[in-house]
């Protein structure tokens, strides 16, 4: 990896941090060590680095804000690429052009404060815009796919192409980016409309209060663990299986919301995974419902 570090530094492609804990990179605050964390300073720097990684068989993973990832306790001898520098926001009258590294929550709050409607649902969702597009993040029966007009991605050859909303094949917590792992989102065009500032402000306040009352926001977590099966709620199935509050090591199924696993006390990644699989297997046994994991496992054998 010394040659990789040398290449990035000599070509002035961005910031590099060596041996960084996944505890600092994920909202679960769990996991092993990433050998290299790389912050490309521009899209062109990203493209140049990706070509180098590919030509030299260097493992890499493009990372958002780690709000939906369960890394293993093992170390990762590859490159974690963080797109934090792709953070420009350009607001027009009917749409906004935003970089993939922009915080979705910050973007939503900024637009709402300026009187733009469309992203109220996202004011409590952590993660980056790129990550939100990847998984079609959403809440309150709305999702990022509802407001996306198009995105720019790097394709298999690291060329920049534009994909329309139709081409993105948005579904419940899914998009074309999940089935085509070669695509890397670098920018999104989001539809916005002018709204009543006071109405928007009240809606955000109401939903913030509801989140505080129903979600374990005081503990590290990655939000909802499982997708809701059609016509049902994953949290209720887990609660009805008497697993609310159940612990394995430092991981715990939240007392507030059973579809949240929290890092209750210095949890290991293996604690989280074991608890997740216990909930999944128990619901399958009790109700013959196969819960789909909403979060992404990374660096597990």
The full DSSP string for the chain is: -HHHHHHHHHTT-EEEEEEEEGGGTSSS----EEEEEEEESSHHHHHHHHHHHHHTT--EEEE-SSTTEEE-SS-EEEEEEE-TT---EEE-SSEEEEETTSBHHHHHHHHHHTTEES-GGGTT--SBHHHHHHHT-EETTEEGGGTEEEEEEE-TTS-EEEEETGGGT-BTTB-HHHH-TT-EEEEEEEE-EE--HHHHHHHHHHHHHHHHHHS-TTS-EEEESBPPPTTS-HHHHHHHTT-TT-EETTEEE-SS-TTEEEE-SS--HHHHHHHHHHHHHHHHHHH---PPB-SEEES--
**End-to-end Cα, the chain, rounded Å:** 21
Give the model's confidence band at 144: pLDDT under 50 very low, under 70 low, under 90 confident, else very high.
very high
Task: Give me the catalytic one of 35, 65, 173, 268.
Answer: 173
Percent of the chain's residues with pLDDT above 70: 100
Using alpha carbons, list the distances in angstroms from residue 155 to 48, 171, 181, 182, 227. 14, 21, 9, 6, 28
Look at residue 141 in the predicted model and tell me its pLDDT: 87
With bands split at pLDDT 50, 70 and 90, how would you rate the model's confidence at 140? confident
pLDDT value at 180 more than 90: no
Confirm whether pTM is higher than 0.95.
no
Interval 4-59: pLDDT, tens: 999 999 999 999 999 999 999 999 999 999 999 999 999 999 999 999 999 999 99
Domain boundaries, the chain: 2-82, 89-198, 216-298
Is residue 168's pLDDT more than 90? Answer: yes
**β 60-63/76-82 pair status:** parallel
Q: Which one from 103, 143, 150, 294 is the annotated catalytic residue?
A: 294
Say whether 213 is catalytic: no
State how far the Cα of 96 lies from the Cα of 94, in Å rounded to an integer.
Answer: 7
Mean pLDDT of 54-71: 94
Catalytic residue among 103, 224, 241, 254: 224
% the chain with pLDDT above 90: 86
In the CATH scheme, what architecture does the domain 216-298 have?
Answer: Alpha-Beta Complex (3.90)
What is the band of 273 on the pLDDT scale with cuts at 50, 70, 90? Answer: very high
Average pLDDT over residues 162-169: 97
Instruction: Answer yes or no: is pLDDT of 181 > 90.
Output: no
Q: What is the pLDDT of residues 113-136, one digit of tens each?
A: 899 998 999 988 889 999 999 999
- In CATH, 2-82 is 3.40.50.150: no
**Is 224 one of the annotated active-site residues of the chain?**
yes
The arithmetic mean of pLDDT across residues 162-189, rounded, is: 94
pLDDT at 238 over 90: yes
Q: Is 173 marked active-site?
A: yes
- What would the CATH number be for the domain defined by 89-198? 3.30.465.10
Return the minimum-mean-pLDDT range out of 28-42, 192-206, 240-254: 192-206
């Amino acid at each position: 990896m010394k040659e990789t570090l040398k290449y990035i530094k000599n070509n002035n492609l961005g910031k590099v941090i060596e041996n960084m804990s996944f505890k600092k990179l994920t909202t679960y605050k769990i996991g092993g060590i990433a050998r290299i964390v790389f912050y490309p300073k521009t899209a062109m720097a990203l493209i140049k680095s990706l070509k180098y990684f590919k030509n030299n068989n260097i493992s890499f993973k493009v990372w958002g804000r780690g709000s939906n990832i369960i890394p293993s306790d093992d170390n990762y001898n590859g490159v974690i690429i963080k797109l934090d520098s792709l953070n420009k926001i350009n607001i027009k009258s009917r749409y906004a052009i935003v970089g993939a590294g922009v915080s979705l929550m910050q973007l939503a709050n900024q637009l709402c404060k300026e009187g733009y409607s469309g992203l109220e649902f996202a004011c409590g969702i952590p993660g980056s815009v790129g990550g939100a597009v990847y998984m079609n993040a959403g809440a309150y029966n709305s999702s990022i796919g509802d407001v996306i007009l198009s995105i720019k991605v790097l394709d298999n050859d690291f060329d920049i192409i534009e994909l329309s909303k139709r081409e993105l094949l948005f579904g419940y917590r899914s998009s074309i980016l999940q089935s085509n792992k070669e695509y890397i989102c670098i920018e999104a065009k989001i539809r916005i409309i002018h709204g009543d500032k006071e109405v928007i402000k009240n809606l955000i306040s109401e939903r913030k209060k509801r989140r505080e009352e129903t979600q374990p926001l005081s503990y590290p977590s990655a939000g909802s663990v499982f997708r809701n099966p059609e016509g049902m709620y994953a949290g209720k199935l887990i609660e009805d299986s008497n697993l609310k509050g159940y612990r394995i090591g430092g991981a715990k199924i939240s007392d507030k919301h059973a579809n949240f696993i929290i890092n209750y006390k210095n949890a290991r990644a293996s604690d989280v995974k074991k608890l997740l699989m216990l909930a999944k297997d128990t619901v399958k046994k009790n109700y013959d419902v196969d819960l789909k994991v909403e979060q992404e496992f990374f660096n597990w054998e």
